[in-house]
Amino acid sequence: MKSLFYKILPAISLLLILALTMALKPKKTINLNNISLIPRPVSVINTGNIFSFTYSTGIFYAAKDNSLKKPALFLAHLLRPSTGYPFPILPDEKAPHGNSIFLTLSENTSLGDEGYELTVTRKRIILSANKPAGVFRGIQTLRQLLPARIEERFLQQGPWNIPTTKIVDYPSYAYRGAMLDVARHFFGVKTVEKYIDLMALYKLNILHLHLSDDQGWRIEIKSWPDLTKIGGSTEVGGGKGGYFTQEQFKELVRYAADRYITIVPEIDMPGHIHAALASYAKLNCDNKRKKLFTGKDVGFSTLCTHKTITYQFINDVVGEIAAISPGPWFHIGGDESHATPKKDYLPFIEKLQGIVAAHHKKVIGWDEIAQTPLKKGTMVQYWANTKNVRTAVKKGAKVILSPAGRCYLDMKYDTATKLGLHWAGYVNVKKAYNWSPDTLVPGITKKDIAGIESPLWTETVTNLQELEYMVFPRLIGHAEIGWTPQDLRNWSDYRQRLGKQAARLDDLGVNFYRSKMIPWQE
């Protein structure tokens, strides 16, 4: 007996040593709590392991779901440059074995149009949704689970580890937008595309383009060429302005659609229209062309609402833009028409809604339009007047919330901010984040609200760097307000997560404002 024990002693010791080293070897895990997901998902379960990309990781989608090729391509374009791995895209009926990413459409209608389920195990990533848009939103979550350097566009050092997890996620509000004023200062295709890219990362789905104002007309209208030739030739401060050709506009529409973002075009009427009045004499009541305007005043111009030609003009403009805007909406402006007598404003807006409907679009207008009868399906955008919002809801309209004191990206952060205005107060990062849409306007509840939108007016913003400085990080907070349920949001948790976005924003080359309220980790 004793001799047998001594015989197997070496084997026992070896086993003991093996067991010990295995127990002592640090387990490869990533604490999901150290990872910043914005917007915060509805449900995240940490399953305590890791998945790693390898040279042979492929992106698979079920061949019957050909609509997933687009999100698959987006994912491959994101992953290839920084990892240096080929990430082949392969249609495959069955979920493949081995290290792979699998995109699929499920019948889980509880996820809605943009929800998704993301399951990461040691071997596989499975991303499923009801609609391709949901898969695309889920890709943004996967992206944020990866190290920030994935965003670099040249080869980076691995490893590319992702914590294993199961995430179920969907948005609170269907309309989650940003508005860019390309009229006060013009911003070209490349700038707008970068803006769209950054919106996509935070799951926004609407880009509202403010295409005309007193200082500039920014979209080619073939039947009224002087609108851009003259009206597009300058901007605030007298710079050279610019405009989108219809081809360029279509390119933007496509670029946004590839990211499941809808463009809402706005032609602001009957006020904010001086650039058109400077382009065509016949649009003026006195038949005299106005001089171009390069200042910052608002509320002084109006269309001549009694002239027949005015409605011919509107019909042509709405028709040409509607024809190249696949989204359901056309924004008619309607704000600050101080130069239009009220008795003219009301019938004008009514008539305008009819013209837009004739071109098969639904109207969005700033909150002033609530004073007129509203066609079914019209949405009202709150920026200043809560009474208008309540009136709109009584008339059956849904509202988009853009409260200036919370959402206006052109408001200064604080007294030290050089750019921006402050008529609606200072909007620091906390003030921009720390509010709830469903309690903002007394009498208005969640069912009345389509969503929220953050406008960047550009009287003081002249280039991409300045744009990014005003927009980021405030827009990121708005993106979370639109997506994440109220009971999962609070400032102290959010500021930590926002701080961890710094490296990602740096790698994306974003000139964001380093608010002292945020513990940035660069």
Q: Which is nearer to ligand TNX, 205 or 381 (CB)?
A: 381
- 413 is an interface residue for ligand TNX by CB under 6 A: no
Residue closer to ligand TNX, measured from CB, 280 or 366: 366
- Residue nearer to ligand TNX on the CB measure, 244 or 457: 457
Task: Please tell me whether residue 293 binds ligand TNX under the rule CB under 6 A.
Answer: no
Q: Which of 235, 266, 336, 480 is catalytic?
A: 336
Q: Is 214 in the site for ligand TNX (CB under 6 A)?
A: no
366 touches ligand TNX by CB under 6 A: yes
SS3 assignment for 238-263: HCCCCCECHHHHHHHHHHHHCCCCEE
Active site residue 114: no
Q: What is the DSSP string of 104-152?
A: EE---GGGTTT-EEEEE-SSEEEEEESSHHHHHHHHHHHHHHS-GGGG-
CB of 273 to ligand TNX, least distance (A): 12
**What's the min distance (Å) between Cβ of 317 and ligand TNX?**
19
By the rule CB under 6 A, 419 interacts with ligand TNX: no
3-state secondary structure of 153: coil
How far apart are the C-alpha atoms of 324 and 49, rounded to whole Å? 48
Regarding 186 and contact with ligand TNX (CB under 6 A), the answer is no
In the complex, least distance from residue 383 CB atom to ligand TNX, rounded to whole angstroms: 4
Cα 499 from Cα 476, distance rounded (Å): 12
Which CA distances in Å does 505 have to 49, 141, 156, 519?
27, 15, 16, 14
Q: Which is nearer to ligand TNX, 145 or 236 (CB)?
A: 236
Between residues 169 and 335, which has the closer beta carbon with respect to ligand TNX? 335
Give the shortest CB-331-to-ligand TNX separation in angstroms. Answer: 10
- Cα 239 to its chain centre, rounded Å, is 28
The answer to the question of residue 298 lying near ligand TNX (CB under 6 A) is: yes
Closest CA to 174 of 498, 435, 400, 407: 400
Q: What is the enclosing helix (H) or strand (E) of 505?
A: helix 502-507
Contacts of 123 (CB under 8 A, 6+ apart): 51, 97, 98, 99
Rounded Cα distance, 274 and 404, in Å = 24
Q: How far is 62 from 103, CA to CA, in rounded Å?
A: 7
Measured from the CB atom, is 232 or 271 closer to ligand TNX?
Answer: 271
* Chosen residue from 42, 62, 421, 440 binding ligand TNX by CB under 6 A: 421
Of 475, 485, 501, whose CA–CA distance to 36 is shortest?
501
- Selected binder of ligand TNX within 175, 244, 280, 383 (CB under 6 A): 383
Q: Which of 170, 408, 472, 483 binds ligand TNX (CB under 6 A)?
A: 408
Exactly one of 114, 151, 336, 453 binds ligand TNX (CB under 6 A); that residue is: 336
For residue 178, the minimal CB distance to ligand TNX (Å) is 14
What contacts 331, CB < 8 A, 6 or more positions away? Answer: 208, 264, 265, 266, 267, 363, 364, 365, 381
Q: Does 457 bind ligand TNX (CB under 6 A)?
A: yes
98 Cβ contact list (under 8 Å, min separation 6): 56, 123
Tell me which residues are annotated as active site. Answer: 336
**Contact footprint for ligand TNX (CB under 6 A):** 298, 335-336, 366, 383, 408, 410, 421, 457, 459
